[in-house]
Amino acid sequence: MPSREPSPLNRYLAHLEKGELAYQFSAEAGRAVFYPRLLCPFTGSANLEWRISKGAGTVHATTVVHPAQGTPFNVALIDCDEGFRLMSRVEGIDPMQVKIGQRVRFRVHRPGGDDPPCPVFIPAEAV
């Protein structure tokens, strides 16, 4: 019989819709797990619990993309304080001013249409 539990991706997106950055935690590994999945990548266990991030993090790496059309934007790897890393972008600042080690805060970007919400970050000092 199929599970009635929503997929990890749908559960993650539902949290984003509520303005929350959710991640999973593996008690067996004692580590945060991100991107949402069915099994822990460290132990293979299906015992993953959902937690909500406080939304604070640090820029681990950043680059600026210069598209042929449109304005430049950054792509950044963010280390969240709970112990997981995600690819995102830092908004509210010139892309060239985003720096490694910079503290940032989570917010939800809602592109509209059929596109799902996604996590982005703003400089912590802008909060």
Q: Specify the residue for token string 């993309």.
A: 65
Instruction: For each of the domains in the chain, give its residue range(s) and CATH number, in order of start.
Output: 8-126 (2.40.50.840)
What pTM value is reported for the model?
Answer: 0.89
Looking up tokens 């199929």 gives 2
Distance CA 61, CA 98 (A): 9
Quick: pLDDT tens for 39-91: 999 999 999 999 999 999 999 999 999 999 999 999 999 999 999 999 999 99
pLDDT tens digits for range 79-115: 999 999 999 999 999 999 999 999 999 999 998 888 8
* HSE toward the beta carbon, residue 65, CA cutoff 13 A: 11
